[in-house]
Amino acid sequence: MRKMASLSLMVLGILSANAVLAGGVATGNNSIIVRGGAAMVDPHGDGLKVGAAQLDVEDNTQLGLSASIPVAGNVAVGILAATPFKHDITLAGQKIGTTKHLPPTVTLQYHFNNGSAVKPYVGIGANYTKFFDEDSKLGSLNLDDSTGLAGELGVDYNFNKNWGVNGAVWYADIKTDATLGGAKLGEVDISPWVYMVGVSYKF
* Angle value at C-alpha 36, between 166 and 160, nearest 5 degrees: 50
**Which DSSP symbol is given to 1?**
-
Q: What confidence tier does 114 reach under pLDDT thresholds 50, 70, 90?
A: confident
**Spatial separation of the C-alpha atoms in residues 103 and 194, rounded to whole Å:** 10
Tens-digit pLDDT profile for residues 82-94: 999 999 999 999 9
Q: What confidence tier does 25 reach under pLDDT thresholds 50, 70, 90?
A: very low
The confidence score (pLDDT) of residue 9 equals 47
pLDDT at 4 > cutoff 60: no
Tens-digit pLDDT profile for residues 45-97: 999 998 899 999 999 999 999 999 999 999 999 999 999 999 999 999 999 99
Domain ranges of the chain: 2-202
Average per-residue pLDDT for the chain: 88
Global pTM value: 0.84
Question: Within a 10 A sphere around the Cβ of 74, how many other Cβ atoms?
Answer: 24
At the top level of CATH, which class does the domain 2-202 belong to?
mainly beta
Contacts of 96 (CB under 8 A, 6+ apart): 89, 90, 136, 137, 138
Indicate the range of 13-22, 86-95, 153-162 predicted with least confidence. Answer: 13-22
pLDDT at 196 > cutoff 90: yes
